[in-house]
Chains A and B, each alone.
Chain A
Amino acid sequence: MTGQLSTIEVMQTVFLRDLHLAIKQKTDTLGAVFFFALVASLFPLAIGSELLLLKQIAPGIIWVSALLASMLSMNRLYTNDFNDGTLEQLTLSACPLEFIVLAKILAHWTTTGFVLLLLSPILAIQFDLSPLAISTLMLTLLIGTPVLSFLGSIGAALSLGLQSAGALISLMILPLLIPILILGTLAVDAASTNMPFSVYLYLLLALSVLASFFGPLASAFALRIAQE
């Protein structure tokens, strides 16, 4: 019985469990990370190796790659737990589902968004970004990638148990992530041309706060619909 555990303890347990699972299932976790690096490296091959042009479009390339990589990894957020019945137990537990979902999203972000963030400076160096632009890029990814996980979680919950869940999540959620993409790239663009960029970071932070509140709520609602 989880009745004896407080909400925080349940969240901690779920978080650590998901983290362990992600580390054990290396192909899933590392797959998204390598996908990120691969997509970002495809652009110079398609566009040409001219550094000035690449430098200009680098923020967009890295952000789009991060968007695609995190959507790719979204499918595993609830699918395994749904298939083996764990999700049903979590839904029935005394702890509110919203908090469990929050813990799962945070664990998911730690194993994807956070890893992408750590990898991003290496990609940025390939595109010859300035140190200021690189630090701004990392800051925008730090603030922005949680939104990808929070909104992606809604998509994963809505498409739970469906055959074509992977493509469907991207189709549903990517249009909603356009503001994040715009603000993230605008900030890095401004930083690389020595313009003030803090306003974009504040807006990004505002969206991140909104998503962190509404994301778990909507995800839990969708999970209950899927398990009716």
Chain B
Amino acid sequence: MEYKNPTNPPIAQPINWFAFASPSRFYQLSQKIILLCWILFLITATAGLILGLLFAPTDAVQGDSYRIIYIHVPAAWMSMILYLAMAFWASIGLIFNARLAYRFAISIAPTGALMTFIALWTGALWGKPTWGTWWVWDARLTSELILLFLYIGYLSLYYSIHDERKAAKASSLLAIVGAVNVPIIYFSVKWWNTLHQGATITVSKAPSIEQTMLIALLLMTAAFWLYAFAVIFTRVNQRSLIDESHTDWVQQILRGRGQA
């Protein structure tokens, strides 16, 4: 790909969709976004937690233990979305052989695994007072557990291969194979749960949710998104700096840091 000088950007030209596929340009842009994400994360997380823990009404059935949903639900959502995002960037990486896309895929994985773990952990903490047991072989819980194994398999493959390019390609293929399998796994676990065990306790929510609860939940979801963006972009940039330490733009940045 031809190198475009970042100090002299083309103006009034048709949109170049690959402009930010260049690690140096992405670095410039994302460093500002990361800071913004952290600030907004602090605001939304503080507001969400205060609203959720102090102002939202107590649940009629579950008491105060329901309040863990402000962590649990966003984490569970993120765990699934991040797996899809990881598979998406993995396929973009393989199709266009784009190094930044590979870096995105591998940078998403640890956060995805962490979210899956948080979802399982908070789920267990919520299950003990509500269901009287830490763990139930419910379809959703089981799928989430399998998702954690998928993340771990992907990460172990990536870190087992020492050649950076090979590791990126091989783990990307595994991410895609995994993503294709996710719906099959989900439905088979659902059948297994309904046919194997008879009726178990389901994770059904109250049909209507209180206004304050909803706002707090939305704020926390935004906070989780912002956190994920900040952490993933940071990880991508760190990878770029390490992998391209021989290039001019990295040298310039490092020199700039030395002076500051």
Contact = CB atoms under 8 A, between A and B. Distances in A.
A226 B161 CA distance: 10
Given A225-B169, A226-B170, A228-B166, A159 B160 contact: yes
Interface in B153-198: 153-154, 156-157, 160-161, 165-166, 169-170, 173-174, 177-178, 180-181, 184-185, 187-189, 191-192, 195-196
B146 interface: yes
A189 B174 contact: no
Contact of B173 (A175, A186, A225, A228): A225
A182 B192 contact: yes
Given A168-B160, A172-B153, A175-B149, A182 B189 contact: yes
Given A158-B157, A172-B153, A179 B174 contact: no
B170 A225 contact: yes
Contacts of B153: 171-173, 175
A171 B157 CA distance: 9
Q: B-side binding surface: helix, strand, loop or mixed?
A: helix
B185 A178 contact: yes
A62 interface: no
Interface in B172-227: 173-174, 177-178, 180-181, 184-185, 187-189, 191-192, 195-196
Contacts of A172: 153-154, 156-157, 174
B185 A158 contact: no
Contacts of A158: 157, 170, 173-174
B153 to A, nearest CB: 4
A174 B177 CA distance: 13
Contact of B177 (A154, A159, A162, A228): A154
B173 A222 contact: yes
Contact of B160 (A162, A183, A207): A162
Contacts of A214: 177, 180
Contacts of B187: 179
Contacts of B149: 171, 174-175
Nearest to A172: B153
A182 B188 CA distance: 7
A22 interface: no
Nearest to B186: A179
Contacts, number: 73
Interface residues of A, number: 27
A154 B170 CA distance: 10
Given A225-B173, A226-B166, A179 B157 contact: no
Interface in B100-154: 146, 149-150, 152-154
Nearest to B195: A186
B166 A225 contact: yes
Contact of B185 (A175, A221, A225): A175
B62 to A, nearest CB: 31
Contacts of B165: 228
A176 B166 contact: no
B156 A183 contact: no
A159 B161 CA distance: 8
Nearest to B167: A225
Given A172-B154, A176-B150, A179-B185, 4 more contacts: A158-B174, A175-B178, A176-B178, A226-B166
27 contacts: A154-B173, A154-B177, A158-B173, A163-B160, A168-B157, A171-B152, A172-B153, A172-B154, A172-B156, A172-B157, A172-B174, A173-B153, A175-B149, A175-B153, A176-B150, A176-B178, A179-B181, A179-B184, A182-B191, A186-B195, A189-B196, A218-B173, A218-B177, A222-B173, A225-B166, A225-B169, A226-B170
- 9 closest A-B pairs by CB: A179-B188, A172-B153, A175-B149, A182-B192, A182-B188, A225-B169, A176-B181, A171-B153, A158-B170
